[in-house]
Copies of this chain bind each other. A is one copy, B any other.
Amino acid sequence: MTDQQARGIRDAARDGAAERGLAAGESGSRILGPDASVAAFPLGGIGTGNVSIGARGELRDWEISNHPDKGTWLPFTFFAVRAEPTGGDAVVRMLESRLQAPHEGDSGHHIGKVGGLPRLQSSRFRGEYPIATVDFDDDRLPVRVRLTAFTPLVPLDADDSGIPAAVFRYTITNPTDDAVRVNLAAAMSNPVAITGHNVFQFPEYAGMPTVEFRDDGRIRGLAFGTDLEPDDVRYGTATLTTTDEVTATPCWPVDFWQDGIQLFWDAFTATGRLEPSPVFSLDGGDVARLPKLRTGSISVENELGPGETRDIEFVLAWHTPNRPKAWNGMVGLPNTHADDIVQNQYATRYADAWAAACDVTTRLPELEAATRAFHDALYDSTLPMEVVDAVTSTLVAARSTTCFRIADGTGEGRFAAWEGSFDHAGSCEGTCTHVWNYAQTLAALFPSLERNARRNEFLNETLPDGRMRFRTNSVFDAEPLEFHPAVDGQMGTVVRLYREWRFSGDDDFLRELWPAAKRAVDFAFTAWDSNGDGVLDSQQHNTYDIEFYGENSLANSMFIAALAAAARMAEHLGDSEAAERYGCAADTASELVDRMLYNGEYYDQRLDDVDAHRYQYGTGCLCDQLLGQTLAHLVGLGHILPAGHVKSAVRSIHRHNFRRGFDDYASVQRTYALNDEAGLVLCTWPNGGRPRIPFVYSDEVWTGIEYQVSTNLIYEGFIDEGLEIVRATRARHDGIRRNPWNEAECGNHYARSMASWGVLLALTGAQWDAPAGRLSVAPVDAVFCDGDASIPFTTGTGWGVVELDDDGARLRVLGGHLTAHAVEVTHPRLGRLTASDVALTAADAIPLTITTTPLENSK
């Protein structure tokens, strides 16, 4: 089969996905009109913060200053086009489609938004993270304009996926029979060291902002700075550059009124070219009283012949190196060193924004190829489009303000994260173990960051008695907060240690962390098993931010999974005593938990009086009752409770907790699904027994839980049910109701939403077992389109796609390298296909055909 044929299959598969009833709002390819007013597609890398692009093609949500800041915008910052056909009149437009209602504002649309300048008639936004494209539409404009915007994303490379920059490529096509002179202008204000906004809604600055024009021979454009000291927490630089020749107004005239934008617009309208210095003699004035806002602009000129297409590319880069050396969060971790600073990891790589812009510009072909390969591996896959949509859209959380990397002198840095990002502050500090339990995306795409987190959790946060602090303050060398340990967080972190070791095959890593891991496991017996029967039953703090009492399915499914994982790790390290002990304990717990908590349909909580303590669930059908089982499936541990009961239980979760409408629902908790929306409720009481005051999130709908349940449903064979949940989740995020690229829980870009990658793993059956050197995939039928499938995979060192058709399977490494003793593909019709001792590199991404070895269909 030729490459072209393969592409044809993928295209057909894609069309197939569309045929399978995915409406625009539900499909993986997010096509949005200008009315998708809450859509905001974040650009920016891991630990860099973001600038987002809205559905109209506008820049929004400037969050580049080491804290979340939804809704912020930068005055006088936009792109504009001027197109003048030979012998015709020039048409001048801002490169956004028209502003949509409401047009509220206590002074109308703000001057800085230049709402009165003409926009393009319409736009069509296609968001396929990490790549956004916007097709603009205006029958008055003599050229067609498409914007492509992205920040490089290279799987397995957290550094190249963490560049503080974004590419804006405007593709101009002249469909006419005449030449058209096209000028593209970019205007931008200084985004660095903004401290707030004055009563006129103009930014206020620490220090004095600056802007100048710079040209280093390769790139040229606007360079923004400040007179703050480099160790000031607000210090930073930013750039807007291009490789094209430009005319520029390096700094607009500064006055109380909007003279700068008037002169810019008039000049650009007249000729498309900008004057190097103000041509209008400005009055003097009290400079100290004038706004500090500093704005500059550049313009690129091209002559496009009939039918010609040309790209004009801008790179926006920023460099705000310093963070406070403290969470400054609201959970209560002491801010021991809040007056000191730490540096972002990217600052060890780039001296300033100009250096980042240079790097992106110089290496763009390579970086873009990797980014597109990753994009294509997902968007050209045969995976259900809602799943592609879910995994890519939630991957944003890893590159949002939720996550960051602190330089520590090692070159690796320290990975740290909030649970999520409130609109203007981080939400719940400390890389919370019980929330991050659910996330699978980083482990699959940037596993070094997860290993980094495990090192911190076991080496710095696990006490001599085995108690693990579930929120880290040691990433800032700061005093801990004394609080209950979290049973689910602590047990899950053991499973995740197993996951990270198994994915990396790094025995040194495991050996270093193992003593603490053992203490953490043993702690469960002493702290949470009051009667010594091997089932947890004491006061158990957990991810619902309350204490469960008595034997319950959440804690114990996690406990069993941790024991099973610990037994495997112990065995590998030759710690046979521990291996034996944990293995037996797992068996005992499994048997007892099944006996105590299985109610004939699902697993619940054993309590004599469900109201003796507030915030329990008792007889409820809890979405997370099998969280330990989901995690066990994901790391290849198989069933940890009787398979039949697991199957019944996970099915009952879908049956009882998935709602197809919320009109008659009554919840007094936070609201994530309502009216005609569908979603999975955290707990229901199909048999009665609802506590007077159940746990405080019981009636909520969390996307992270939806994905973990979907994952488990798919592992247990309930594919339709699993995908129905994913479709519901994504349908709620349609750009009109909610932002497609932001699944919020307690904060935007909530870490738990990255449970989505588990759905992909369940559908593809992909497992990478580095110690065994075995890559296996076993896609479910739903992944096939007309008999063919193309599915992505990652390992600790390389990634690519596996393609299956009626004749066999192929493995293509698209990035990194893959050395494996065995590759096993379970083909639903052909059985097991294997290859042995492969050693592949991405090189030029040539497809590799696996030797087909038809075996007995052991399925």
Contact = CB atoms under 8 A, between A and B. Distances in A.
Interface string A183-212: 000000000000000111000000000000
B737 A111 contact: no
Given A106-B748, A107-B747, A671-B115, A666 B265 contact: yes
Nearest to A697: B257
Interface in A735-782: 736-739, 744-748
Contacts of A103: 671-672, 674, 732, 737-738
Nearest to A100: B675
Interface in A117-144: 117-118, 121, 140
B675 A262 contact: no
Given A736-B102, A737-B103, A738-B103, A425 B199 contact: yes
Interface in A699-746: 699-700, 732, 736-739, 744-746
Contact of A108 (B111, B427, B672, B693): B672
A615 B282 CA distance: 11
A92 interface: yes
A665 B107 contact: no
B666 A614 contact: no
Interface stretch (A161-169, A416-424, A440-448, A504-512): A416-424
A218 interface: no
B699 A107 contact: no
A843 interface: no
A105 B733 CA distance: 12
B116 A667 contact: yes
A38 B102 contact: yes
Contact of A670 (B111, B280, B745): B111
Given A116-B699, A667-B117, A262 B106 contact: no
B674 A115 contact: yes
A692 interface: yes
A32 interface: no
Contacts of A116: 662, 665-671, 674, 699
A291 to B, nearest CB: 13
Contacts of A669: 111, 116, 258
Nearest to A258: B668
A692 B92 contact: no
A136 B697 CA distance: 30
Contacts of A258: 668-669, 696
Nearest to A200: B330
A99 B38 contact: no
B670 A107 contact: yes
B423 A693 contact: no
A427 B106 contact: yes
A22 interface: no
Residue with the highest number of chain B CB atoms closer than 10 Å, among A37, A110, A259, A674 = A674
A269 interface: yes
A608 interface: no
A148 to B, nearest CB: 26
Nearest to A700: B108
29 contacts: A38-B104, A98-B663, A102-B738, A103-B671, A103-B732, A103-B738, A104-B744, A105-B744, A106-B423, A106-B744, A107-B670, A109-B670, A111-B669, A114-B668, A115-B671, A116-B665, A116-B667, A116-B668, A116-B669, A116-B671, A118-B663, A121-B663, A198-B330, A199-B425, A257-B696, A258-B668, A261-B668, A263-B693, A280-B692
Q: A-B pairs with the 10 shortest C-beta distances?
A: A116-B667, A115-B671, A109-B671, A108-B672, A116-B671, A261-B668, A101-B737, A108-B670, A38-B102, A257-B696
Given A258-B696, A265-B668, 11 more contacts: A103-B674, A103-B737, A103-B738, A107-B422, A108-B745, A109-B672, A115-B674, A116-B665, A140-B664, A198-B330, A199-B422
